């Protein structure tokens, strides 16, 4: 199999993700992902407002995933802007019922 070196670029995109009973909606997504097989994945993602299970003004995720190591070490910095704590607490309450 040949080595793969590709980029995925998103500009002003909307991402909707589902996990079990949870929904995540990311708006105004600006992202640049680079995948180099057997080497690394580079992640650079910034969003505007987000909603669903969690509500806030933005999310940022930047860093790398090292594919050369057996455990695929991650060096990712994840941050949120103006996360509404009540949205997170409400999800916890619903899941424990």
pLDDT tens digits, one per residue of 7-43? 999 999 999 999 888 899 999 999 999 999 989 999 9
Q: What share of the chain is helix, strand, coil (3-state, %, to 5)?
A: 10, 60, 30
The Cα–Cα gap between 91 and 97 comes to 10
Nearest to 22 by CA among 95, 96, 97: 95
Q: List C-alpha distances in Å: 54 to 63, 75, 77.
A: 22, 24, 18
Q: Measured between alpha carbons, how far apart are the two ends of the chain, in Å?
A: 49
Q: 92 phi and psi, to 5 degrees?
A: -60, -40
The Cα–Cα gap between 10 and 29 comes to 7
The Cα–Cα gap between 51 and 70 comes to 35
Domain boundaries, position 44:
5-96
Indicate the number of domains in the chain.
Answer: 1
Q: Which residue has the tokens 């992640």?
A: 43
> Which one is predicted more confidently, 89 or 53?
53
Task: Examine the pLDDT at 91 and tell me if it is beyond 80.
Answer: no
pLDDT at site 97: 58
């Amino acid at each position: 199999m040949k080595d793969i070196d590709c980029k995925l670029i998103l500009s002003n995109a909307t991402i909707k993700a589902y996990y079990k009973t949870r929904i995540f909606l990311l708006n105004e997504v600006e992202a640049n992902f680079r995948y180099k097989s057997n080497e690394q994945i580079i992640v650079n993602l910034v969003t505007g407002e987000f909603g669903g299970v969690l509500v806030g003004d933005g999310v940022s995720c930047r860093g790398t995933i090292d594919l050369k190591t057996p455990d695929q070490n991650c060096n990712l910095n994840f941050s949120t802007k103006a996360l509404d704590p009540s949205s997170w607490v409400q999800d916890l309450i619903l899941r424990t019922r």
